[in-house]
Structure 1
Amino acid sequence: MTDSELTDVVVVGYGPVGAMVANLLGQAGVATIVLERDVKPHTMPRAGATDDEVIRIFQAAGLDDQLLPLLDLGQSTQFVAANGDQLVTMRPSGGRNGFPQLAFFYQPDLERVLHDGVARYPQVSVRMGVRVEAVHDDGDGVTVWTRTGDRGRQTAIRARYVVACDGGRSTVRNLCSIAFTGSTYAQPWLVVDAKLEAPLDDVTCFQFVGNPDRPAVTLPLPGTHHRWEFMVLPGEDQAALATLENARRLISPWVDPDRVTILRHIVYTFHARAADRWRSGRVLLAGDAAHLMPPFAGQGLSAGMRDAHNLAWKLAAVIAGTADSSLLDSYESERRPHVTRMTRLTRFSGALVQTRRRRVAKIRDIALAKAARVSYFTEGRFKPHLRYSSGAFDSSRRRSGAGHAFPQPTVRTSAGRLRPLDDLIGSGWAVVGRDLDPQANMPSESRELWASLGAAYLSVSRPGHRRTRCAAGTVVVEDLDGYVLDFFDRHGGDFAIVRPDRIVFAMPDAGDLDNAADLYTSLVGVA
C-alpha cells in the first residue's frame, strides 16, 4: 500500500457518460482522475441515436465541431408493417436547441471525440485497466481503493467526490449498497452490427418492423455501418439464436449476408431499472449506474449525457466554494422525474413494436396509419422536453420558465456575425435581458455576485431592433429565429438567469432583478 493520492473528483468508468463528466470538469478546472477497468476503449457500438439536447451538451464541452461531421443529422423514424408497408413516418421538428432533433452516430467515433476532448486538460488523468475494489466515505472525503490488473498493488486515491459512471452492473453502486430496483421490464433481443459495402437503398432511416412473427428494428448508422435487432421469442435458446449462422439468416431479407461484414452478434436483455438513490454522501451515480431504460427511443445514452451536464457544474461550484454541498441533492430531484418520463416513452415505443398477437398488431397498424395524419405524432412533439419540476431554480411563479431549458437560436451580433447563442454565453452563468441591458438594471450587490461567477450579460432583441447603448461587457444580439423572444412571451419576465447547464434559474421582472443575490443564496447556498 502507498499513501493516498489526492484529487478533487474520481470518475469511475470511461464510457461516454464518464468521458463527458471528465470533459466538463476539466473545462471547469477541476482536478479529476478517471478510472476504467478495461485496458482499452470499446471498439464495438452500443448506442446509435441521440438528440439535439445532447449535441448541445457537446457544444457546451467545446466538442460540437468535432462531433457534427460524424453524425447523420435530421433523421426520421418509421413504423413498418409486417408486409413492408410504411404506416407512419415521424420526423421531429422544432430545433429550439440549435440542432436537428434526431441524429445517428457510430459509437466508437463518438467516444474518440470525447477522449480527444479529455486530452485537452492536464488536470484530468485517465487510467485504463484499473479496478475499484473499495470505496470509503468518511464524511470529509472519499478513499477509493484500486488495483491495476489481477496482481497489481492495491493503491488509494483520496477525493472530495466520486462519480460512478460504471454501467448497469456498477461496482461503485454495489460497494455503496445502493439497491437497483424500479421497473421489472426485461426482454432479450439479438443485436447484429454489420459493415456494409454501401448504405441500403430501402432503409434510409430508423425503422420499427411490426412483424408479429418476430418484431425487429433496422437502423442505418454513419459510415455504412448498420444495425439490426431481433426479438428473442419465448422458448428460444438465446445462445443458439446468437450464432453467426442465425445472424446471417435473419438479416438476409434486407441484404446479401455474403456482401457484409458482421462485426457483432449478441443477445442483450433490455431493462428499465433505477437506483434507489443517486447520491450516497460524497458518491454520486450517473448514466447506466443510476438508471437503465430500453433502447427503443434512443434515450439511454442521452439520459446519461444530461446527467453529466446537470451534475458537473454543480460539483465544480461546490469544489470552488461558490455553492453549498446541499446543491448536489438537486441533481437527483431534477433528473429522476425526467428519466422516468423518458423511460415511459421507451417502454411505450417498445410495446408498439413487440406486439406478437396478430389481432392486436392489426389494430395497432390501423391506429398508426391514422396517426400519420396527426402532426403532434409525426413531428415527435410527444417526446418530453428537458424541463425540471423542482430543484435548484426559482419555482415560486407557476408559469415561469424556471426549470426549462433556455432555447438556442442563431443570433446576429453587433459586428454582423451569425452565431449560435450558446457560443456567446460560454460555459458559465448568463443573465439575458429582453431588449434590456442586465447591467443597467442590476444593483451593485447582484452585479458583484454574477461577476464573481463569471456570468455573461446579453441583451436580446428582434431583428433590426437591437440596443445600441449598453454597458461594457454586455453582448447585444438579434434573435433571428425568434426562439428567445417567444420564450419570454410564453413565460413572462424581463430577464432570464440561465445556469451553466442551460436550465433557467429564474425569470425576474426588471424590478425584481435586485433580488438575484438573495435568490442564489437561498437556492444554491453560498453568495
Structure 2
Amino acid sequence: MSLTTEVLIAGAGPVGLALANLLGQYGRKVVLIESRSELIDYPRGVGMDDESFRSLQTMGLIDEVTPYTVPHHIMRLVNGHGEVILTNDPKGEPFGWPRKHGFIQPLVDKVMHDGLARYDNVTVLFEHELAGIEDDGDKVVATVRTGPNEGDTTRIEAAYLVGCEGGRSFTRGWMGVDFEGKSPSTRWVVIDVRNDPLGVPNVYLGADPARPYVSIGLPHGVRRWEFMLFDHEPSEKVEDDGFVADLLRDHVPDSSRLDVIRRRVFTHHGRIATGFRKGRVLIAGDAAHLMPVWMGQGWNSGMRDATNLGWKLASVLAGKASDHLLDTYDVERRDHAKAMIDLSMTFGSIIKPTDKRVAFLRDTASRVLNLSPQVKEYFTDMRFKPMPRYGRGVVVEPDSLQPGEAAARRTSRFVAVRNAVDKRSPVGLQFIQPRVATAEATGVRLDDVIGPWWTVAAWGNDPARLLSPSDRAKLERLGARLVAFTSESQRGWAEKEYAGSGSLVVGDLDGSLKGWFDTRGMGVVFLRPDRFVAAACLAQDAPRALDSLLRAASATVESVR
C-alpha cells in the first residue's frame, strides 16, 4: 500500500497536531502518522503562554480548549523559609489573552486531535512509525512501519516531511545534524495526582536547599509535585511508596489518600539542533530543541514552531512563494528557541542549589533586589523572558525598506518617525490583538475579524488608496486582506468614504490600535499569517514596502494559481 500527500507529519504530539490543524485550515493535504496506538494520556506540559492561546484561536479551537485551562497562572519562587524570592504575574493582554495559563495537556492535545476531523484533507494514522526517508529533490518518500514484522511497511510520498517525534527524533537523526547543548545529571521525580489535597492555586518553585521542589495547582483538581533527587538516591526509589511518602510529608496531610496519575523520574535537557531543515525534510518541537521545564516553554516553543512553519508550507504548496521561503523557518525560530533554552537553564541554576551557603547568598541578593520597585516589576511582568523577534527572515527594514533584515532600533530622517515615542522597530514582533468593532460585530478580537492570512492595515487611511491597481492585484493573488483602522467614532464615516474599495473598516474601541501607530510613528503595517509584523512604514511608502516584502517572502504572486 502507498499514500500520496502534500505534507507528511511524523508524530502526533502537540506540535504535529498543531501543524496539521493549521495546514488543514489552509486547505493543504496532510498525513499525520503516530507510532503509538493512541495519544499520550498523562500530564506533561502544564503552562501555556498567550502566544500559544492565540495560535489555538487561529485554529478555531478556543471554545473547546478553554475548559481545560486556568488563566493568570501566577508563579512564585520561594526559598526554604517560605520567603518569596520572585513573583511572576504578568498583567495585561496585549495579544488578546491572559499572559499565562495552567492547562491539562492531554485534554488540549485531544482537542487538537479531534479538531482534525473538520478537514477531509487531513488523515491521521496511529501505529504508523517512520522508518526510512528518501529525498530525491522533487519529493520525499517515507517508509513507514505498520506492524511487528519486517514486511509490515507502507510507503508515503509527500512534497515535504516534518518530523515532530520528540527528543529521540528519527527525522533529526536522518538529517545528520548535531543536537548541541547539555543534559545535566540532576534527576527529578514528578508526581501527578487527580484529587488535589491542597486546593491552593498557582505555582510554587521551592528553592529549598533541603530538597528543591515544585508544587503546581492545575485545572480539574489536578496537582503536580516535582522533587529533586540527590546523587545517592537511585531512580528506582520512586517505586517505593515509603520514599514517596517521605517526599510529600511536608506538603500534604495524608499522602496515602492521593489518587496518583503517574510518578516517574526525568532529567532536564537543554539542547538544540544545528539545523531545522535539510531539503524537503524539516523538524519542529522537541525534535528540534529540548529545554528544561522551569519556564514552561517546551510546549509553547513547539507551538511557535508550528505557527511559524504552517503558513510558510501552505504558501509554497499553493505556489504563492518559492521553496526559499522555508529557509526562513530555521532563520527565525532557532535563535529564539536557543534564548529560551538558555533562560530555562539559568532559572534552574537558581532553584537547584543544595549548598546552604550558596542558598544564603542567593536569598540575601534577592532581598536586596526586591527593595527596588523597578526590579520587582521587571520580574513580575516577565520582562526577562525574551519575546520572539525576527531580525532576519520575512521582514523589511523600516528605515531603508530593504528586504530580509530588520534592526531592533530605528534611525530615520523623517520627522514623524524620529519623534516617535518608541524608538524600537516594531518589525519582527507580534502585533497586538485588542477588541474591535466592524459593521457586523462589536467587541470581537482582532484576529477573528481580519482572518488567518496576510493583512495590510493602515491607520486613518484606506490602504487600497495607497496602492496602485498593480499592487492591489499582487495582494489579491497573495490572498491578503486590506484593512482600514480608525477610531470607533470615525468608523461610520470611513465605511461610507471607503465603500467599494474592498477594504474592511475596523473601529478601535479602546485606543489600543491608535496608541500602537502613535508611539511607533508608522501609518501602515503588513501582518504575516502568524500575526508578526513583516513591514511597517509611513503611508506614502506603502508601495515600496510591499515590493520589499514580496522579495523577503520569496513571493511568486505574478504566477499564483
Scaled to the shorter chain, the TM-score interval is over 0.9
Which residue number corresponds to residue 246 of structure 1?
243
Report the residue type matching 1:521 in the other structure.
L
Which residue number corresponds to residue 394 of structure 1?
396
Deviates more, 1:208-217 or 1:237-246: 237-246
Aligned in 2, Cα 1:223/1:370: closer, same or farther, shift over 3 Å? farther
Structure 2: distance between partners of 1:248 and 1:413: 58
* Contact 2:238 2:263 survives alignment (8 Å): no
Deviates more, 1:493-502 or 1:507-516: 507-516
Which of 4, 7, 11 aligns to 1:6? It is 4
Deviates more, 1:384-393 or 1:101-110: 384-393
Which of 539, 551, 556 aligns to 1:510? It is 539
Q: Does 1:220 align with 2:217?
A: yes
1:184 is displaced (CA, Å) by: 4.7
Which of 232, 249, 254 aligns to 2:229? It is 232
Structure 1, residues 82-101: CA drift from partner, whole Å, max 9, x if none?
A: 12233442211232101111
Among all aligned residue pairs of Structure 1 and Structure 2, give the percentage whose two residues are the same amino acid. 38
Structure 1 spans left out of the alignment, 5+ residues: none
Which of 520, 526, 529 aligns to 1:491? It is 520
Structure 2: distance between partners of 1:285 and 1:220: 32
1:241 is displaced (CA, Å) by: 3.9
1:493 is displaced (CA, Å) by: 2.1
Q: Does 1:205 align with 2:234?
A: no
* Contact 1:35 1:128 survives alignment (8 Å): yes
Deviates more, 1:180-189 or 1:160-169: 180-189
Which of 83, 86, 110 aligns to 1:85? It is 83
Deviates more, 1:123-132 or 1:389-398: 389-398
Structure 1, residues 356-389: CA drift from partner, whole Å, max 9, x if none?
A: 1212212222333444442112221221122212
1:501 is displaced (CA, Å) by: 0.5
* Contact 2:5 2:29 survives alignment (8 Å): yes
* Contact 1:135 1:175 survives alignment (8 Å): yes
Structure 2 spans left out of the alignment, 5+ residues: 400-406, 411-424
Mapping 1:289-368, distance limit 5 Å: 289-368=287-366
Structure 1: distance between partners of 2:368 and 2:111: 41
Q: Alpha carbon RMSD of aligned pairs, Å?
A: 1.7
Q: Does 1:440 align with 2:465?
A: yes
1:176 is displaced (CA, Å) by: 2.5
Which of 65, 71, 74 aligns to 1:73? It is 71
2:531 is paired with a residue whose SS is: coil
Structure 2: distance between partners of 1:351 and 1:489: 41
1:437 is displaced (CA, Å) by: 1.1
Report the residue type matching 1:524 in the other structure.
A
1:41 is paired with a residue whose SS is: coil
* Contact 1:20 1:305 survives alignment (8 Å): yes
* Contact 1:216 1:231 survives alignment (8 Å): yes
Which residue number corresponds to residue 377 of structure 1?
379
Aligned in 2, Cα 1:244/1:332: closer, same or farther, shift over 3 Å? farther
Structure 1, residues 306-347: CA drift from partner, whole Å, max 9, x if none?
A: 000000100000000000100100001101111112112211
* Contact 2:396 2:549 survives alignment (8 Å): no
Structure 1, residues 164-206: CA drift from partner, whole Å, max 9, x if none?
A: 000000011112222212345453211111111x5624x3211
Which residue number corresponds to residue 167 of structure 1?
166
Report the residue type matching 1:217 in the other structure.
V
Which residue number corresponds to residue 411 of structure 1?
436
* Contact 1:51 1:302 survives alignment (8 Å): yes
Residues paired across the two proteins, number: 523
Aligned in 2, Cα 1:71/1:512: closer, same or farther, shift over 3 Å? same
Report the residue type matching 1:254 in the other structure.
H
1:392 is paired with a residue whose SS is: strand
Aligned in 2, Cα 1:427/1:306: closer, same or farther, shift over 3 Å? same
Structure 1: distance between partners of 2:112 and 2:166: 17
Which residue number corresponds to residue 19 of structure 1?
17
1:499 is displaced (CA, Å) by: 0.5
